Chain A
Amino acid sequence: MGMTMTQKILARAAGLEKVEAGQLIEADLDLVLGNDITSPVAIKEMDKFKKSGVFDKDKIALVPDHFVPNKDIKSAEHCKCVREFARKNEITNYFEVGQMGIEHALLPEKGLTVAGDVIIGADSHTCTYGALGAFSTGVGSTDMAAGMATGKAWFKVPSAIRFCLTGKPSRWVSGKDVILHIIGMIGVDGALYQSMEFTGDGIAHLTMDDRFTIANMAIEAGGKNGIFPVDETAKQYMEEHSRRPYRIYEADPDAVYEAEYTIDLSALRPTVAFPHLPENTHTIDEIAGMEPIAIDQVVIGSCTNGRLEDLRTAAEVLKGRHVAEGMRCIVIPATQAIYLQAMEEGLLKTFIQAGAVVSTPTCGPCLGGYMGILAEGERCVSTTNRNFVGRMGHVTSEIYLASPAVAAASAVMGVLCGPESLA
């Protein structure tokens, strides 16, 4: 019985010839990540260790991104705690305001995540780096503390579901539509405890940014990780961004999968997840047949969709247009580099001329932190990843998860709609 791609990476990191689903292993970690919400809890836990210090100051990344620039005094104290820990332990990859970005956009851009790595992060969207062929998964603060102290973590080797992607997506279909379609199909616990392994010739038509978005939302199907094969697109990205050597693993031909799905990308349509679960999906065509859904706010950003291509797509839709009267449209480039590039390409000018606001990188509104909180009964179309009850504000507010193209079109029309609806 062969191994999946994930199992091969875990076997390497555990120093084993072979692993199988259900086996408990201890694996060496290539990177341990935390942010301003999860790291303070981990740092407190670090004090309980007999052994002091961190296992490797180069293999820890601390990224204050959720409530920064500091939203209030308590958040400022959390950030101070992380900053002081980073200084004391001489953490190489601590990213201060001005250098930071949203962690899951920032780390690949900085070359800290490459194929074959085993990465844990005290943030559920750590699964993003599977786009580059790494095993990466979200954990809590105690696991992060143990990882920082020992360089190791325990895992139950996951079984896998295989998603064979074929065909080429049509003009307005992006990685976001692919993953929302999948979550709608298998449900928010459809991949519980499992790997989501993507294969097929359709992957060649997905850009790196599309793949980051897809892997990012594996957790929204309950997945332990999402992972893509390492092709020329991934190699080119890593060679442009990283000096670290990467390790390419491929699933064995006789690897066992719990389930297999084939998805024809050319048949997909822009897809939106309605409140209050990412599995409540409807295509843009179904939405066109419904009573219009009036929208108060649009957010374009986050670790899911705050990358350069996302901003280019949003700008393409907003160029020469203006957001609807009464609409608040908030655009958040995910990193400083993306922000700068968007500025140089004139995208930021397009957003501002269209009546949108542009923010410094932050997770802010995605988790109801700040920078776009919803009032009672308000509706938001958001390119973020969760539409749970109260996620972005008041418990009666509603979140519609969508691609940047759908979000931008909805900002213009003031109702939930796709870019094809624009005159």
Chain B
Amino acid sequence: MNAKGTVFQYGDNVDTDVIIPARYLNTSDPGELAAHCMEDIDKDFVRKVKKGDIIVARKNFGCGSSREHAPIAIKAAGVSCVIAETFARIFYRNAINIGLPIIECPEASRGIQAGDEVEIDFDTGIIRDITRGTSFQGQAFPEFMQKIIASEGLINYINNQ
């Protein structure tokens, strides 16, 4: 499985309140949530994002509230992968459980710039920055989590057991 797209770059501690503000949590519709994704830190995100695009952030991405609406909004906005130095643990679980690909890679987090074209090979964990001609080795998931991702989420994984 591969992902390829243009990079939106963010800093440390992007919290789930800015990914999807609580004023929109009176709905759980993915399309409605996606329409407000990132709006409190990047008003242009929703207008600019294209299917397949990639978010690259620094440490502790997705901290704060446990709202699964955050990875749902990112996925429904068309984002194919989030790369970060580290993820907050609830966001990490939620992303795996709903089938939003994420990769921890401090080097890629620092080496990739906004607007770069980036390609990710999920089987090998290799992240290639096509614009800069650089590549990075992302951390592979433990086998158990790979199975959840391959089943396209936790519920299917449990159903298949």
Q: Residues of A at under 8 Å CB distance from B?
A: 24, 37-38, 40-41, 44-45, 48-50, 66-67, 71-72, 74-75, 78, 122-124, 126, 138-143, 145-146, 149-150, 154, 188-189, 192-193, 219, 222, 224, 277, 367-369, 386, 388-391, 395
Contact = CB atoms under 8 A, between A and B. Distances in A.
Contacts of B68: 38, 41, 122, 140-142
B18 interface: yes
B26 A74 contact: yes
Given A142-B153, A367-B17, A41 B69 contact: yes
B79 to A, nearest CB: 17
A181 B90 CA distance: 23
A189 B26 contact: no
Contact of B158 (A24, A150, A192): A150
Contact of A154 (B27, B71, B144): B144
Nearest to B70: A140
B23 interface: yes
Interface of B: 13, 15, 17-18, 21-23, 25-28, 40-41, 59-60, 63-69, 71-72, 86, 88-90, 93-94, 97-98, 142, 144, 153-156, 158-159
B63 A188 contact: yes
Contacts of A369: 22-23, 25
Given A41-B68, A142-B154, A389 B18 contact: yes
B86 to A, nearest CB: 6
Contacts of A149: 158
A215 B155 CA distance: 30
B65 A367 contact: yes
Contacts, number: 131
Nearest to A192: B86
A140 B28 contact: no
A24 B40 contact: no
Given A124-B90, A224-B89, A48 B41 contact: no
Contacts of B18: 388-390
A67 B40 CA distance: 21
A24 B117 CA distance: 35
A143 B60 CA distance: 20
B27 to A, nearest CB: 6
A140 B93 contact: yes
Contacts of B15: 386, 388-389
Given A189-B86, A367-B65, A368-B21, A146 B158 contact: yes
Given A139-B90, A388-B17, A391-B17, A48 B66 contact: no
Contacts of B90: 124, 138-140, 219
A321 B46 CA distance: 49
Residue in A37, A78, A142 with the greatest tally of chain B CB atoms within 10 Å: A142
A37 B25 contact: yes
Contact of B22 (A48, A189, A367): A367
B158 A388 contact: no
Contacts of A386: 15, 17, 64-65
A188 B60 contact: yes
A66 B28 CA distance: 15
A368 B25 CA distance: 10
A49 B60 contact: no
A395 B23 CA distance: 12
23 contacts: A24-B144, A37-B67, A41-B28, A41-B68, A48-B159, A49-B158, A49-B159, A74-B27, A124-B65, A126-B66, A138-B66, A138-B90, A149-B158, A189-B88, A219-B90, A222-B88, A367-B22, A369-B23, A388-B15, A388-B17, A389-B17, A390-B18, A390-B40
Residue in B41, B60, B67, B68 with the greatest tally of chain A CB atoms within 10 Å: B68
Given A390-B40, A395-B40, A40 B158 contact: no
Contacts of A126: 66
A193 B71 CA distance: 19
Given A38-B66, A123-B66, A48 B97 contact: no
Given A44-B28, A122-B68, 11 more contacts: A37-B22, A49-B158, A140-B66, A140-B93, A142-B68, A193-B89, A219-B90, A367-B65, A368-B17, A388-B15, A389-B41
A-B residue pairs, 4 tightest by C-beta: A140-B94, A74-B26, A140-B68, A142-B97
